[in-house]
């Protein structure tokens, strides 16, 4: 939009910049074509030649041209701070149409069309169709819908790009387990209920961000009693802490976070494992330091604010339970424990017959000589509870 040429504009267009001038303009009889503009860019002087030519060709007192500076006119608030040419058509003190852009042929056609309609109204041959100033015109609604569509597309593209980036980081971290293995943190139901913007959840994510650690995966899980007690241990077998922990895990959804880092140490110079040990503390809250998240956000004496496996073997089991899809992404299954059974050779048929239901789990059967008699060696996969799978 070019700058204003006052000498030329004054001859053709009425200049309006205040509420009083605006109200006076609305009282004009006939059709008023208003170039609505913001003060920082000025009116569309590039269209003056077309408007002047049209005015000379039509003549008469029913067509008025004007410019309106939106900065100080309340009715024109929504047109402020915009540089696109905006043409408002007013008749009988009300808006009857609106056009955007500098399309001269279209603007001239609309002027002729709206002038014909208003002439018919004034002659008692038609009815004026108006649009309240505070309502969007059909063209504005279409433009608004298009803007929203583009915004949603951009948002979806950004989310897709973010997801792809996180997935790439996750796979890269998986490929670099020898540098810093994956770590897991479980948010118990009482922490999940409080929400991510408060308490243990917020402190954890803030600390991870400051340390440069990555949250590779995050999802909500509902745990079954067997899997909860088997893979997410807390306290000694049969203890009150173990019992309350198992009940708590089943009381509502938990959130599992899979963490990793692409460097050997965090930005504080410690490994991710060391950071989590210091930040979260031991699983049993009363054994953890008062400033640890496990202790600070505990639920009673036995339910920690956050849970993280204390040993590599437990971490492997917990990751396999809560993120089974990572086994496929890593190109192989998680390590399994192996059970070995020894028994007298003459009992071989009896014992193997009893194991027919799990025959596919038996890895090998061998005979060995011990003190002049034979024994059968049975090698099989073992689950977390020590039973042959």
Q: In the CATH hierarchy, which top-level class contains the domain 176-329?
A: alpha beta
Residues 99-146 have pLDDT tens digits of 999 899 999 999 999 999 999 999 999 899 999 988 888 888 888 899
pTM of the entire predicted model: 0.41
Q: pLDDT band for position 59 (50/70/90)?
A: confident
- Enter the DSSP assignment of 251: S
Per domain, the residue ranges of the chain are 6-135, 176-329, 337-382
Cβ-contact 34, 68 below 8 angstroms: yes
In which band, very low, low, confident or very high, does the pLDDT at 170 lie, cut at 50, 70 and 90? low
Counted residue by residue, the chain has a size of 389
4-8, 27-31, 87-91, 94-98: least confident range: 4-8
| 284 closest CA partner among 234, 228, 229, 230 | 234
Distance between CA 176 and CA 170 in Å, rounded? 10
Listed residue (248, 256, 194, 190) closest to 221, CA to CA: 256
Strands 86-91, 31-37: parallel, antiparallel or unpaired by DSSP? antiparallel
pLDDT for the residue numbered 141: 87
Q: Tell me the pLDDT of the chain averaged across its residues.
A: 78
CATH placement of domain 6-135? 3.40.30.10
Residue 256 has pLDDT above 80, yes or no: yes
Can you tell me the distance from the alpha carbon of 389 to that of 386, in angstroms, rounded to the nearest whole number?
9
Mean pLDDT throughout 167-187?
Answer: 63
Distance, in Å, from the CA atom of 16 to the CA atom of 4, rounded to the nearest integer, reads 14
Q: Taking 90 as the threshold, does the pLDDT of residue 91 lie above it? A: yes
Q: Is 6-135's fold the same as 176-329's?
A: no
Sign of CA dihedral 15, 39, 147, 47: positive
Radius of gyration from C-alpha coordinates of the chain: 38
The whole-number pLDDT of residue 83 equals 87
pLDDT of residue 251 exceeding 70:
yes
């Amino acid at each position: 939009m070019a700058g204003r040429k006052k000498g030329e504009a004054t001859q053709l267009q009425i200049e309006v910049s205040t509420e009083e001038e605006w109200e006076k303009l609305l009282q004009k009889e006939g059709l008023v074509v208003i170039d609505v503009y913001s003060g920082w860019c000025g009116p569309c002087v590039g269209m003056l030649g077309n408007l002047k030519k049209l005015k000379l060709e039509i003549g008469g007192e029913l067509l008025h041209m004007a410019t309106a500076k939106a900065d100080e006119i309340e009715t024109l608030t929504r047109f402020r701070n915009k540089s696109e040419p905006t043409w408002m058509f007013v008749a009988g003190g009300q808006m009857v149409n609106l056009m955007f852009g500098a399309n001269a042929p279209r603007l001239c056609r609309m002027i002729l069309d709206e002038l014909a309609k208003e002439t018919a109204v004034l002659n008692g041959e038609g009815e004026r169709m108006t649009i309240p100033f505070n309502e969007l015109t059909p063209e504005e609604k279409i433009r608004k819908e298009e803007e929203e569509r583009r915004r949603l597309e951009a948002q979806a593209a950004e989310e897709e790009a973010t997801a792809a980036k996180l997935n790439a980081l996750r796979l890269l971290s998986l490929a670099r387990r020898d540098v810093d293995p994956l770590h897991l943190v479980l948010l118990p139901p009482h922490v999940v209920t409080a929400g991510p913007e408060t308490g243990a959840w917020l402190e954890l994510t803030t600390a991870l961000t400051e340390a440069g650690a990555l949250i590779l995966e995050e999802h909500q899980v509902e745990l079954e009693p067997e899997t909860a007690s088997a893979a997410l241990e807390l306290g000694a077998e049969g203890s009150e802490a173990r019992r309350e922990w198992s009940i708590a895990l089943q009381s509502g959804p938990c959130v599992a976070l899979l963490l990793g880092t692409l460097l050997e140490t965090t930005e504080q110079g410690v490994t991710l494992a060391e950071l989590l040990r210091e930040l979260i503390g031991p699983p049993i809250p009363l054994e953890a330091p008062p400033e640890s998240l496990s202790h600070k956000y505990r639920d009673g004496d036995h339910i920690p604010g956050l849970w993280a496996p204390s040993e590599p073997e437990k971490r492997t089991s917990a990751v396999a339970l809560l993120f089974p899809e990572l086994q496929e992404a890593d190109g192989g299954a998680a390590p399994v424990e192996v059970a070995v059974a020894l028994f007298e050779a003459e009992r071989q048929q009896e014992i193997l017959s009893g194991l027919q239901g799990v025959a596919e789990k038996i890895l090998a059967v061998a005979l060995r000589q011990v003190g002049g008699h034979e024994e059968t060696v049975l090698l099989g996969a073992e689950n977390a509870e020590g039973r042959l799978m």
